[in-house]
Structure 1
Amino acid sequence: MTDAYVALENGQVVEARARAPGRTRGELVFTTAYTGYEESLTDPSYEEQVLTFSYPLIGNYGVREERFESERVHPRAAIAREFTEDVAEWLTEEGIPAVDHLDTRDLVTNIREEGAMKCGIAAGPDATPEAAEEELEQCKAMSEHTDIGKQVSVDERQTHNPDGDGPTVALIDCGAKGSITSSLVDRDATVELLPYDATVADVESVDPDVLFISNGPGDPKNFEQAAALVDEYVDDLPLAGICLGQQVIAEALGGETEKMEFGHRGVNQPVQDLRTEKVVMTTQNHGYTVSEPGQLEVTQINVNDDTPEGLESDEMDIITRQYHPEAHPGPNDTLSFFDDVIALTEEDSVATPSADD
């Protein structure tokens, strides 16, 4: 049954089956993850994108809210070879168009060869190829959303684990996954979750022991206020960052970032520590990377393409990771990154990457 269409920027219109109705548009990206579909769909870093799953069956262990990384689904649409009824019902309830019964291998190959591209989707009883093409044209006409942080950040300060015996972490929410907060709370830290556009006064009000820039969607250059905080507190507070956070910190300290051809999205990305030469498997979800590290030292690289996966400065007490050490459902090779962040707050201590040695 054909009642859905995906119009691609390269001129193709792909026929599919509607599993959740609707019309939408966005940047078409793919993930190679074979587990963690609930986590991927609720990851704020996928805001304004259309997520394609390369694994053929999505939904084979149901949908459970305790696995969510945020309160809602963030991709504008979802594509798979086949969605189970559980996932189709969930996305329908969320108002997120979903399509399946198409050749996702061919779709992923297109993205790998031509790069992430814009697309339009029409799904449901009244869907037509022309409707999908209309969505694509609207997507192509739209300028990049420079205030995307507002869509994924908390509106006001939230305190997690207020009675913790550990350090206080000022976590700047540029689209933070819930597992970042829980990983810090598990180490008895008090986490003060602050909006993406938090000011110096906001940070001062929580008197933190470390400033932490979270993951998030889009171009790191759009998060100017987070970069301003890095510039304000470098040398005064330890700094940490994950994914977008690494990019923001690098740019604030004289580095540069660039958009990747199709990004890293999956749960089996190999990363090598340059000091120990050990390779670990990581979960990743990013379309931008650090091209020049500025004042920071590259300590870890992606084995596939040599892009920076870890940046550090012993002198400035900074540690960042491009991948997601907190990844759920896994792998858990690098969870002790959070121990290293906590160690940054200890007097006269310098964090060492225990997860990676």
Structure 2
Amino acid sequence: MKRQLILENGDRLIGQAIGSEEEKAGEVVFNTGMTGYQEILSDPSYCGQIVTMTYPLIGNYGINRDDFESVDPSIHGLIVREAADYPSHFRSQLSINEWLKKENIPGIQGIDTRKLTRIIRETGTMKGKICSMDVDVEAVVKELQASNSPTDQVSRVSTKNRYMNPGVKERIVLVDYGVKKGIVKDLVTEGYEVVVVPYSMTAEEILMLQPDGVVLSNGPGDPTSIPHSVETVKGLLGKTPIFGICLGHQLLALACGATTRKMPFGHRGSNHPVKDLQTGQISITSQNHGYTVDAESLQGTKLKMTHINVNDQSVEGVKHLEYSAFSVQYHPEASPGPEDAKGLFKEFKSIVENNQLATGGKTHA
């Protein structure tokens, strides 16, 4: 069965239907990863987006029960050149088409994904809709042009209630803006007691949990759409060590007086080179974001840029000059992606332990 993708600029690409029959709109983005499609499909940071995979064959190792980054996927659609009908892997339980149908996510295969990627690179990300062939194309284009980009993505994907992952070491409060399972897993692996809390919690409520450190998680959308979270980070600065990841990195920057801006087409993939400005070391990183910290806005703040993107010189990491707070734009848990940056969890651990020594031990009961 044929299906089409209609973009808000009027472009129309026709392919074959996979997944659900539902018609869905969203911001059309592309990801350059060759593997890791299951983690991408279940990453809450893709909330409301239609993802184009630039690698031509997707689904060849199927879908398994273990590699999901969230329980309920929030992606609005998937576009691929070819979806494998017969996956081959000992852990595979479903084909990608079967899983998309199960989760009511529409998809398209057989379109020219290179052409679509060039359109996005040249014009920037734009809204699109996965539709049947019998819709009024002009009406859909007008609908897309008139619609506003969502601002409630974080509220959709953040946990509604706090919950605990037991551990034997320090207590880490993880603020969930759309956290991936991999981040929780890496923190638990360090032995921490990890308390995951909703993004709506205030600094006072978080501090009442007596954390030994706070992690600001990844998440979807524009960081300026959750100003109360910026105020929360302001209230935490200087009171507990902070580690920001992706959206959490942007929120830390905003809390310290810097600004953020929307990128033309963002960074989405598992091959982005990042340079540590202190050591000169280059790490290959996994990324998924459409906004970035404005480098010039760091001037006059208490933040120092620590990492830079080798490709476009965008800000990839900052560190506070007075307080125990640092952040990175990429995903150190590497789900999916290379593990070059996993050492950042050890760096955070060192900061937490040093803070414990400085304050005479744990502060929570």
Q: Which TM-score bucket, shorter chain as reference?
A: over 0.9
Matched-pair identity in % = 39
- Answer yes or no: is 1:138 the counterpart of 2:143: yes
**Structure 2 match to 1:128:** 134
Secondary structure, counterpart of 1:55 in structure 2 = coil
Contact 2:217 2:247 in 1 (8 A): yes
Evaluate the alpha carbon distance shift between residue 238 and residue 336 of structure 1 in structure 2; reply closer, same or farther with a 3 A threshold.
same
**Structure 2 match to 1:304:** 311
Structure 2, unmatched stretches of 5+, are: 86-94, 358-365
TM-superposed CA distance for 1:75, in Å, is 1.4
TM-superposed CA distance for 1:175, in Å, is 0.5
1:130-279 equivalences under 5 Å are: 130=136, 134-161=139-166, 164-279=167-282
Measure the CA separation in 1 of the matches of 2:142 and 2:73.
Answer: 24
Structure 1, unmatched stretches of 5+, are: 351-357
Secondary structure, counterpart of 2:130 in structure 1 = strand
Evaluate the alpha carbon distance shift between residue 101 and residue 235 of structure 1 in structure 2; reply closer, same or farther with a 3 A threshold.
same
Evaluate the alpha carbon distance shift between residue 109 and residue 326 of structure 1 in structure 2; reply closer, same or farther with a 3 A threshold.
same
Cα shift readout 1:40-92 (whole Å, capped 9, x = no counterpart): 00000000111000000110111012100001222101100011230011001
TM-superposed CA distance for 1:135, in Å, is 4.3
**Structure 2 match to 1:91:** 100
TM-superposed CA distance for 1:235, in Å, is 1.1
Cα shift readout 1:245-300 (whole Å, capped 9, x = no counterpart): 00001001000100000000000000011111111100000000000333211011
Measure the CA separation in 1 of the matches of 2:165 and 2:321.
Answer: 28
**Structure 2 match to 1:29:** 29
TM-score norm. by structure 2 comes to 0.90
Secondary structure, counterpart of 2:335 in structure 1 = coil
- Answer yes or no: is 1:119 the counterpart of 2:124: no
TM-superposed CA distance for 1:336, in Å, is 1.3
Larger deviation, residues 52-61 vs 137-146: 137-146
Measure the CA separation in 1 of the matches of 2:163 and 2:139.
Answer: 41
**Structure 2 match to 1:354:** none
Q: Which amino acid aligns with 1:313?
A: H
Q: Which amino acid aligns with 1:187?
A: E
**Structure 1 match to 2:16:** 17
**Structure 2 match to 1:107:** 116
Measure the CA separation in 2 of the matches of 1:44 and 1:192.
Answer: 19
TM-score norm. by structure 1 comes to 0.92
Q: Which amino acid aligns with 2:11?
A: Q
Aligned residues: 343
Cα shift readout 1:143-194 (whole Å, capped 9, x = no counterpart): 2322221100000101112xx2221111110001111111100000111111
- Answer yes or no: is 1:342 the counterpart of 2:349: yes
**Structure 2 match to 1:353:** none
Cα shift readout 1:72-129 (whole Å, capped 9, x = no counterpart): 2221011000112300110011000011011000000110111101111114xxx325
Q: Which amino acid aligns with 2:134?
A: T
**Structure 2 match to 1:289:** 292
